[in-house]
Amino acid sequence: MAKYIVRRILSAIPVLFGLSIVLFSFIHLLPGDPAAALLGQHATPELTAKIRQQLGLDQPLYVQYLQYLTQLLHGDLGKSVINNRPVITDFANRFPGTVELTLAALVFAVGIGIPLGRFAARHTQGWQDGVVTVISLFGISIPIFVLGLTLQYVVSVQLHWLPTSGRLDPRTTIPSVTNFMLIDTLLAGRPDAFVDALRHLILPAIALGSIPLAIITRITRASVLDVNNEDYVRTARAKGLTERRVDDRHIMRNAWLPVVTVIGLQVGGLLAGAVITETVFSWNGVGRWVVEAIQDHDYFVVQSSILIFAFIFLAVNLIVDIGYAYLNPRIRYA
């Protein structure tokens, strides 16, 4: 197992290296000039050339990439060309907001998707199975921004049940300790603010978790039906075991592997979907920060944030693979 983990970690290095080359090349091919964006309406050819020289943008692309790669190897993700703050500082301040939203969406998707999939599998070919299938099809088909705007209009504007956007009421001031709003409100001893932060979290989490919910539901249903037709399940029923025991000890224990795989893969989808969700709901997270950086042509922010997301995705996949050995002892990594 240890050799497998080391090998996977080493194999991630060329992946990140290749991704850095693709990102650097693609971003520098985009139209626009960060120096002109930084100067705004005060941009003149002389000032623009001076800023480009200060930022090193007047050098050949391969020289710029080698400088960027050297910074990465020394743990320096660069500085924003807009506010001159280190990228890692802004990322650390905003990342807890994205993690909070992603975890809430994952809890929503897993907490509802797995029971729905099991329910549909127990009533296969019935009307209950048909209803669950239709719901999952809607979940996969509706884009995140459409669902988000619809939830805002119906739940917030028309019904006035939940807030429209943001992470907390603007009139509420909470000391930032961890930048996790739910945790900071509890540390501040403000249960009213905790409830308010939770209310702000519900709609974005539903919008972001809708697609993973549908996928997890369909995979759980298919996996349970596949295991349900195995000989050892028929044998367990023939021995007189209760249906609940057959379901818990024989069906679900063997149906977990595909479900866990999908859940791990959905983490990457949630991080990507957070870009849209945070923009729609004005959520102060990394996704909205990246969108603003793209609009401002802030190269270092976009490159570094996507590289960090790729690293997180690779780490999650490694954790999922390791978890296979605990869910199924028959699996051995050579």
Q: What is the pLDDT of residue 334?
A: 52
Region of 195 (left: φ > 0; alpha: ψ -120 to 50; beta: rest) is alpha
Residue 147 CB-density burial (10 A; 0-12 exposed, 13-18 middle, 19+ buried) = buried
Q: What is the pLDDT of residue 100?
A: 92
Q: What is the pLDDT of residue 30?
A: 67
Report the SS3 class of residue 37. Answer: helix
What angle do helix axes 299-327 and 61-73 make, rounded to 10 degrees? 50
Helices (H), the chain: 2-29, 34-39, 45-55, 61-73, 87-122, 127-141, 144-151, 181-187, 191-228, 231-238, 243-246, 252-280, 286-295, 299-327
Q: How many CA atoms lie within 13 A of 157 on its CB side?
A: 7
Considering the chain, what is the average pLDDT of its residues? 82
Q: Is a pLDDT exceeding 80 seen at residue 26?
A: no
Residues 307-323 pLDDT 10s? 888 888 888 877 777 77
Residues 35-60 pLDDT 10s? 666 666 666 777 777 777 776 777 77
Question: Rounded to a whole number, what is the distance in angstroms from the first to the last CA of the chain?
Answer: 8
The domains of the chain are located at 2-73, 87-143+209-327
In this structure, how many other beta carbons lie within 10 angstroms of the beta carbon of residue 101? Answer: 29
Percent of residues, the chain, with pLDDT higher than 90: 17
Residue 305 CB-density burial (10 A; 0-12 exposed, 13-18 middle, 19+ buried) = buried
**41, two tokens:** 């309406």
Percent of residues, the chain, with pLDDT higher than 70: 91
Q: Is a pLDDT exceeding 60 seen at residue 200?
A: yes
Give the pLDDT band of residue 196 (cuts 50, 70, 90).
very high
More confident residue, 324 or 301: 301
Residues 270-299 pLDDT 10s? 877 788 899 899 888 888 888 888 877 777
What angle do helix axes 144-151 and 191-228 make, rounded to 10 degrees? 130
Report the SS3 class of residue 193. Answer: helix
Cα–Cα distance measured from residue 309 to residue 209, given in angstroms and rounded to the nearest whole number: 18
Mean pLDDT over 121-133 rounds to: 84
Mean pLDDT over 115-125 rounds to: 85
Mean pLDDT over 244-269 rounds to: 78
More confident residue, 319 or 205: 205
Q: What is the pLDDT of residue 33?
A: 65
Output the CA torsion 45→51→55→59 (10° steps): 30
Q: Which residues of 49-81 are buried (b: 16+ CB within 10 A; e: fewer)?
A: eebbeebebeeeeeebbeebeeebeeeebbbbb
More confident residue, 28 or 1: 28
Highest CATH level, class, for 87-143+209-327: mainly alpha
Q: Is a pLDDT exceeding 60 seen at residue 154?
A: yes
Give the pLDDT band of residue 333 (cuts 50, 70, 90).
low
Report the SS3 class of residue 285. Answer: coil
Residue 238 CB-density burial (10 A; 0-12 exposed, 13-18 middle, 19+ buried) = exposed
Q: Is a pLDDT exceeding 60 seen at residue 14?
A: yes
Q: Is a pLDDT exceeding 70 seen at residue 108?
A: yes
Cα–Cα distance measured from residue 142 to residue 207, given in angstroms and rounded to the nearest whole number: 10
Q: Is a pLDDT exceeding 90 seen at residue 104?
A: yes
Q: Which of 298, 297, 270 is nearest to 285 (CA)?
A: 270
Report the SS3 class of residue 179. Answer: coil
Cα–Cα distance measured from residue 302 to residue 305, given in angstroms and rounded to the nearest whole number: 5
Q: What is the pLDDT of residue 106?
A: 92
How is residue 58 annotated by DSSP?
T
- 90-104, 123-137, 145-159: least confident range: 123-137
